[in-house]
């Protein structure tokens, strides 16, 4: 199997969207829980910390039920015993014999970043023992997981990603299409920090009234009720939104006919906090209400 890192988003590596079973592994603190939660939001039936030798039995049990899920995602990491981790290649072979395609995502991260994350959260490392330094626990974990990293279909380095950037990466780079129809990502951004390079549509909200100049609304965001009420009272905002939403809904079926698996719609404003966030959230609400359940939001500047 071939490997790729997160920096190579458009290569020939098999995409994970076609795999009924996705295994998520990686270093503690690298973002495995975020990846699993995102996969769950995208329609996967998710289980974390499954002993690897139970994987074939688990898959057979879940998929053999009366209403089996279309996708499974399983977290397997160093919380397993070392001997269990060594069983994973055999377990994957058994799954393959069942006729089930599988993919392994491995979350990696630089040691200095992991040290800072643990210092910030004050969490205990799963391999931490009395008298064991955190750096030693990370080094041991890296050694134990090295065989899994070696067989991974995709290695994602989360060192320079925050929680929401990693979530966005799982949604977009892995090109997950876990339900029928388009996967739609709607994001907000600040123009002063650059336009998202992978957006299919970009809309400029800087022409609209700006709550930033209201001292009461300035600390809030476009998701807060007070800011939403402010925009609801502005006829120009309503006219702008309705025209953009009508345009998007009119053209989404054409993208589906072109066999696209996902589409990214971006709203920008000056600070990426009020107008763009409001427009992104409201468009997502409208699309979901009209049956496009596979719609997610990402707010680059505030998350």
Neighbour order of strands in the sheet with 154-157:
45-47, 72-75, 21-26, 102-108, 154-157
CA diameter of the chain: 64
The pairing of strands 21-26 and 102-108 is parallel
Inter-residue contact 85 to 147 (CB < 8 Å):
yes
Q: Is 124 annotated as belonging to a binding site?
A: no
Q: Is 116 annotated as belonging to a binding site?
A: no
Question: What are residue 261's phi and psi, to 5 degrees?
Answer: -90, -30
Cα separation of the two ends of the chain: 34
Q: Is 78 annotated as belonging to a binding site?
A: yes
Question: What are residue 155's phi and psi, to 5 degrees?
Answer: -110, 125
Q: Is 77 annotated as belonging to a binding site?
A: yes
Q: Is 31 annotated as belonging to a binding site?
A: yes
Q: Is 32 annotated as belonging to a binding site?
A: yes
Q: Is 26 annotated as belonging to a binding site?
A: yes
Write the secondary structure of 155-214 as one string of H (helix), E (strand) and C (coil): EEECCCCCHHHHHHHHHHCCCCCCCCCCEEEEEEEEHHHCCCCCCCEEEECCCCCCHHHC
Q: Is 113 annotated as belonging to a binding site?
A: no
Beta-carbon-side half-sphere exposure of residue 3 (alpha carbons within 13 Å): 13
Instruction: Give the separation between CA 152 and CA 146, rounded to whole angstroms.
Output: 10
Instruction: Give the separation between CA 276 and CA 58, rounded to whole angstroms.
Output: 43
Ordered DSSP codes for 230-292: HHHT-HHHHHHHHHHHHHHHHHHHHHHHTT-SEEEEEEEESSSSSHHHHHHHHHHHHHHHTT-
Q: Is 70 annotated as belonging to a binding site?
A: no
Q: Which residues contact 198 (CB under 8 A, 6 or more apart)?
A: 9, 172, 264
Q: Is 131 annotated as belonging to a binding site?
A: no
Q: Is 120 annotated as belonging to a binding site?
A: no
Q: Is 7 annotated as belonging to a binding site?
A: no
Write out the binding residues for GTP. Answer: 77-80
Write out the binding residues for ATP. Answer: 26-33
Write out the binding residues. Answer: 26-33, 77-80
């Amino acid at each position: 199997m071939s490997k790729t890192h997160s920096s190579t988003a458009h290569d020939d590596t098999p995409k994970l969207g076609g795999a009924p079973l996705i295994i998520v592994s990686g270093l503690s603190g690298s973002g495995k829980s975020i990846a699993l939660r995102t996969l769950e939001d995208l329609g996967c039936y998710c289980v974390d910390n499954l002993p690897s030798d139970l994987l074939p039995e688990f898959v057979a049990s879940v998929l053999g039920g009366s209403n089996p899920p279309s996708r499974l995602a399983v977290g397997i990491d160093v919380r397993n015993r070392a001997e269990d981790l060594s069983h994973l290649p055999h377990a994957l072979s058994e799954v393959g014999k069942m006729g089930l395609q599988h993919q392994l995502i491995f979350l990696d991260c630089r040691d200095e970043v992991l040290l800072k994350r643990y210092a910030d959260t004050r969490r205990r490392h799963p391999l931490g023992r009395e008298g064991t330094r955190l750096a030693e626990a990370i080094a041991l974990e890296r050694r134990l997981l090295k065989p899994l990293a070696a067989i991974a279909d995709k290695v994602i380095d989360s060192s320079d990603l925050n929680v929401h950037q990693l979530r966005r990466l799982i949604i977009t780079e892995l090109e997950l299409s876990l339900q029928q129809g388009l996967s739609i990502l709607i994001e907000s951004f600040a123009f002063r920090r650059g336009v998202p390079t992978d957006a299919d549509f970009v809309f400029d909200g800087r022409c609209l009234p700006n709550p930033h100049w209201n001292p009461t609304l300035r600390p809030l965001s476009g998701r807060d009720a007070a800011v939403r009420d402010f925009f609801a009272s502005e006829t120009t905002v309503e006219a702008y939104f309705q025209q953009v939403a009508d345009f998007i809904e009119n053209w989404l079926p054409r993208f589906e006919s072109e066999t696209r698996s996902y589409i990214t719609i971006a709203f920008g404003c000056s600070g990426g906090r009020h107008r763009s966030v409001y427009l992104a959230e409201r468009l997502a609400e409208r699309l979901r209400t009209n049956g496009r359940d596979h719609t997610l939001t990402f707010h680059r500047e505030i998350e």
